Amino acid sequence: MIEIVHPGWLSLVADNGRFGHADIGVPWSSALDSFAYGTLNLMLGNDPGAPALEVVGNEFAVRFHEETTCAICGARVTAQLDGDEIGSWQSFQARRGSLLRVSKVLEGFRYYVGVSGVFDLPRVIGSFATNLECRFGGLRGRPLVRGDVLGVKGTRSVEERSVPVEYVPALHPPHVIRWVDGPEIGYFTQVSIKKLCTQNEDVCYLVSAKSNRTGVRLDGEPLHFKKGSARSIISEGLLPGTIQVPGDGSPIIVLYERTNGGYARMGVVARVDLDLLAHLKPKDRILFRRITRDEALEMGQERNERISALHHILEDF
């Protein structure tokens, strides 16, 4: 059993999401950084879909009411376990009564905290994930608050592991996001398309403070539609990473809480960069790079090979 002493800015229960229900409007609601979430469970000896805590912000603190193995993955943080310094991308032993406190986020935005075992929570539509907008899943469909207690089934201690530094993603701005053409790219002027291709930091976009788990809003020079082009479409399906452009021209990158929308889809973020979207925080600088679908597939394959190699390393500990 664990007890939330401080929830940070926002913490909730996440897993690998709900799939197969988009046709009735049920979104994925999955962990936004799938690499960090998956690596966390691998280090802890859990099933790939075991629930974890997705946390934003400093001062998150949790007390352990039984001995277990714990890990932190995702954003680079400074943390203390009973006063002893620990960091991200490693697992460690927690004794009964131990207090884990994350004092500062150094790089990135979201991080994942998990234990060896499965949080004793009900599955809703096949998943432990929290859907904040519809208020179901996780712990009664809401963010975690001080005093919340989560039971753990099958808790145990496993061998400590750490991720080699060469496998830890860099999360410092400016962030370069690669994208492929979307269905409505022909709606936009060539000048606007080039804005999402430049590597010039003088014309980058900034992450808006209005961003959340639903989407990343960007501030900067608006994108322009071609004369005569529609500024909206009949609502159609959305993929995570879709770059939507509303009538005001300010791009929105869709995350995992929408299944359809009526804004023009200028592009889609390549799979290789989807996890990076979890770490875009307000005022971060964003640069875009347009790539072909073949390039995106090749980069995705290289990513999968790196993940496979890391799995072998961690399994051999």
pLDDT per residue as tens digits for the range 49-82: 999 999 999 999 999 999 999 999 999 999 999 9
- Residue range 33-39: average pLDDT? 97
139 and 101 fall within a common domain:
yes
10 and 61 fall within a common domain:
yes
134, 167, 200 — which closes off a domain? 167
**What percentage of the chain has pLDDT greater than the value 90?**
90
* 310: pLDDT strictly greater than 90: yes
* Residue 186 is assigned to a structural domain of this protein: yes
**Sequential DSSP letters for 178-224:** EEEE-TTGGGB-HHHHHHTT---GGG-EEE-TT--SSEEEEESSPP-
142 and 265 fall within a common domain:
no
Confidence of residue 317 (pLDDT cuts 50, 70, 90): low
Q: What is the reported pTM?
A: 0.95
* Residue 148 is assigned to a structural domain of this protein: yes
113, 135, 167 — which closes off a domain? 167
Q: Average pLDDT of the chain?
A: 94
* Residue 316 is assigned to a structural domain of this protein: no
Confidence of residue 15 (pLDDT cuts 50, 70, 90): very high
Q: Which residues of 164-194 are buried (b: 16+ CB within 10 A; e: fewer)?
A: eeeebeebebebebbbbbbebbebbeeebbe
135 and 180 fall within a common domain:
no
253 and 300 fall within a common domain:
yes
CATH code (residue 242): 2.40.100.10
Task: Supply the pLDDT for residue 201.
Answer: 67
Confidence of residue 226 (pLDDT cuts 50, 70, 90): very high
Q: Which domain holds residue 275?
A: 175-306
pLDDT per residue as tens digits for the range 128-169: 999 999 999 999 999 999 999 999 999 988 999 999 999 999
User: How many whole angstroms separate alpha carbon 307 and alpha carbon 73?
Assistant: 14
* 105: pLDDT strictly greater than 70: yes
13 and 159 fall within a common domain:
yes
Count of domains for the chain = 2
80 and 222 fall within a common domain:
no
Confidence of residue 36 (pLDDT cuts 50, 70, 90): very high
65 and 126 fall within a common domain:
yes
* Residue 298 is assigned to a structural domain of this protein: yes
11 and 31 fall within a common domain:
yes
**Sequential DSSP letters for 73-114:** EEEEEEEEETTEEE-SSEEEEE-TT-EEEEEEEEEEEEEEEE
User: How many whole angstroms separate alpha carbon 185 and alpha carbon 159?
Assistant: 50
**HSE value, Cβ hemisphere, 13 Å, CA-based, for 191:** 8
SS3 62: strand
* Residue 293 is assigned to a structural domain of this protein: yes
Task: Supply the pLDDT for residue 130.
Answer: 97
123 and 146 fall within a common domain:
yes
* Residue 313 is assigned to a structural domain of this protein: no
146 and 231 fall within a common domain:
no
Task: Supply the pLDDT for residue 196.
Answer: 84
16 and 150 fall within a common domain:
yes
* Residue 317 is assigned to a structural domain of this protein: no
Radius of gyration of the chain measured on its C-alpha atoms = 20
Q: Which two tokens stand for residue 95?
A: 């004794």
* Residue 145 is assigned to a structural domain of this protein: yes
**Sequential DSSP letters for 235-286:** -EE--TTEEEE-TT---EEE-SS-SEE-SEEEEEE-GGGTGGGGG--TT-EE
* 13: pLDDT strictly greater than 90: yes
* 280: pLDDT strictly greater than 90: yes
pLDDT per residue as tens digits for the range 165-215: 999 999 999 999 999 999 999 999 999 998 888 766 666 899 999 999 999
167, 200, 234 — which closes off a domain? 167
Residue type, 30: S
